[in-house]
Amino acid sequence: MVGKMSPDGKTVEFDFLDVSGSTQKGLMNHAVFTMVDANHHTEEWTYVLPGDKTLSGHADLTRTK
């Protein structure tokens, strides 16, 4: 995967670049991490299954004290 940061530095986006080996069971092809504040970030994940079907996941993560 290759990553790029947003101009404001709060989001890092990763896109599939290349793979070594089989993709027979699918592959992770996209991820986005967004830093909301010092105690909170979100994650978006996209996985491509065989047959080009996609699965997406979202997580809101908060630091505990």
| pLDDT score for 2 | 97
Mean pLDDT split into 10-residue runs, the chain, 65 residues: 97 93 88 97 96 95 94
| pLDDT score for 52 | 87
| pLDDT score for 20 | 84
User: What residues contact residue 44 under an 8 Å CB cut-off, 6+ apart?
Assistant: 30, 31, 32, 34, 56, 57, 58
Report CA torsion sign: 3, 58, 43, 23: negative
